[in-house]
């Protein structure tokens, strides 16, 4: 697919730096620290042989590097040009080899707005994503910037708005292998969940899974306006099926976790999905579902989950009255 580069001045976010996440794009939660680390602080830590993770305070974003004899693949690129330059400095400080490819785990801005800057810093390279993510990056970014333009007091406003959008140019629908010379990396679309276009990265020889926002550690997984709450548990079942008891799992946000953590998160998402199905089957209106149901998370986190869950249910699983 042809490479596309554009600078978007009118686009949206999910309630960016302050406030809660809203319409399908993770917000920059005010509760998350934005402190900068000293320039000489080594940020990338090796979590498995030739797999490094850097954790950034802003949004608790994780950036992953996978190394092979032919170079490095970076998974996700952060949420602005300025932050991507910090990431680039950290890659150079690590000194593990040339950066040869980028991967965007989904279309939300905090996972791809560093694309253009990293290409500028390290030269032309392929940018991989699912077909769905590639086709929805521009619309997601447009909504993000449009929202941020209204947030005049947002401390990251100018930084994000100054960022140039660079679209992924290598796409797939189900799975693809990346050849790193002496190592193969698998990109897998396990199904719909956080978005319709999520991918996970599997490094078989190192027993590592990079889960994107299908898995989060710093907060419960974000269910936004473009999520699929009824399908998310089944999608995680497939991801868990790729794991061993020793698998290292890198979430989109927060600390590195393990298989047990992902299974526990899948149970919570399953409770949410089954509660929605149960309430709808008993004729409980959507407007009453949050109050009637017993939920594993705070109700304010589940507004979109209930609305989307009711909308996604087949008609045969709903019972009157639902008004």
State the Cα–Cα distance between residues 192 and 183, nearest whole angstrom. 28
Contacts of 156 (CB under 8 A, 6+ apart): 16, 17, 28, 34, 58, 80
Q: What is the per-residue pLDDT for 146?
A: 93
* Phi, psi (degrees; rounded to nearest 5) at 106: -170, -175
Tell me phi and psi for residue 147, to 5 degrees.
Answer: -65, -45
Q: Is it the case that residue 285 has pLDDT exceeding 90?
A: yes
Tokens of 148: 């941020």
Alpha-helical regions (H) of the chain: 81-94, 115-122, 131-149, 157-161, 232-241, 259-281, 286-292, 303-312
- Tens of pLDDT, residue by residue over 150-167, are 989 989 999 999 999 999
pLDDT of residue 105: 99
Q: Which of these, 80, 140, 122, 130, lies nearest to 105 by C-alpha position?
A: 130
Q: Supply the DSSP symbol for 36.
A: P
Question: In the chain, what are the domain boundaries?
Answer: 5-317
Task: Give the model confidence (pLDDT) of 10-51 as tens digits.
Answer: 223 333 332 233 333 444 333 233 334 444 566 999 999 999
CB 112 within 8 A of CB 77: yes
Q: pLDDT at position 315, please?
A: 76
Percentage of the chain modeled with pLDDT above 70: 85
Q: Which residue has the higher pLDDT, 262 or 10?
A: 262
Q: How far is CA 73 from CA 46, 50, 185, 290, in A?
A: 14, 11, 9, 42
Q: What is the pTM of this model?
A: 0.87
Q: Has residue 9 got a pLDDT over 60?
A: no
> Is the omega angle on the peptide bond into residue 321 within 30 degrees of 0, that is, cis?
yes
Q: Is 72 left (phi over 0), alpha (psi -120 to 50) or beta?
A: beta
Element (H, E) at 121: helix 115-122
Return the residue matching tokens 């253009």. Answer: 116
pLDDT at 316: 64
Query: Which of 154-158, 173-177, 209-213 has the lowest average pLDDT?
Result: 154-158
Question: What CATH number should be reported for the domain whose range is 5-317?
Answer: 3.60.15.10
The larger pLDDT score, comparing residue 322 to residue 160, is at 160
Residue 212 banded pLDDT, cuts 50, 70, 90: very high
Neighbours of 83 (CB within 10 A): 24
pLDDT at 312 over 70: yes
């Amino acid at each position: 697919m042809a490479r596309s580069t554009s600078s978007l001045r009118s686009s949206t976010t999910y309630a960016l730096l302050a406030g809660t996440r809203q319409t399908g794009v993770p917000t920059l939660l005010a509760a998350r620290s934005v402190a900068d680390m000293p320039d000489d602080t080594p940020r990338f830590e090796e979590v498995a042989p030739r797999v490094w993770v850097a954790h950034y305070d802003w949004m608790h974003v994780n950036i992953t590097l996978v190394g092979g004899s032919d170079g490095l693949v970076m998974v996700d690129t952060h949420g602005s040009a300025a932050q991507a330059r910090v990431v680039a400095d950290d890659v150079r400080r690590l000194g593990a080899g040339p950066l040869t490819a980028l991967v965007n785990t989904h279309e939300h801005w905090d996972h791809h707005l560093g694309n253009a800057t990293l290409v500028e810093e390290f030269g032309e390279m392929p940018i991989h994503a699912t077909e769905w993510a590639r086709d929805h990056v521009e619309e997601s970014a447009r909504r993000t910037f449009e929202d941020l333009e209204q947030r005049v007091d947002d401390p990251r406003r100018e930084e994000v708005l100054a960022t140039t959008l660079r679209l992924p140019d290598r796409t797939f629908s189900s799975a693809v292998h990346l050849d790193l010379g002496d190592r193969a990396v698998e990109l897998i679309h396990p199904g719909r969940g956080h978005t319709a276009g999520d991918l996970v990265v599997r490094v078989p020889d190192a027993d590592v899974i990079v889960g994107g926002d299908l898995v989060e550690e710093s907060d419960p997984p974000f269910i936004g306006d473009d999520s699929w709450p009824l399908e998310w548990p089944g999608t995680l079942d497939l991801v868990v099926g790729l794991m061993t008891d020793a698998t290292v799992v890198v979430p989109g946000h927060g600390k590195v976790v393990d298989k047990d953590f992902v299974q526990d998160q899948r149970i919570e998402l399953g409770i949410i999905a089954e509660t929605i199905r149960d309430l709808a089957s008993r004729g409980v209106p959507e407007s009453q579902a949050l109050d009637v149901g017993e939920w594993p998370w705070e109700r304010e986190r589940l507004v979109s989950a209930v609305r989307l869950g009711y909308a996604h249910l087949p008609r045969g699983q709903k019972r009157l009255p639902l008004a």
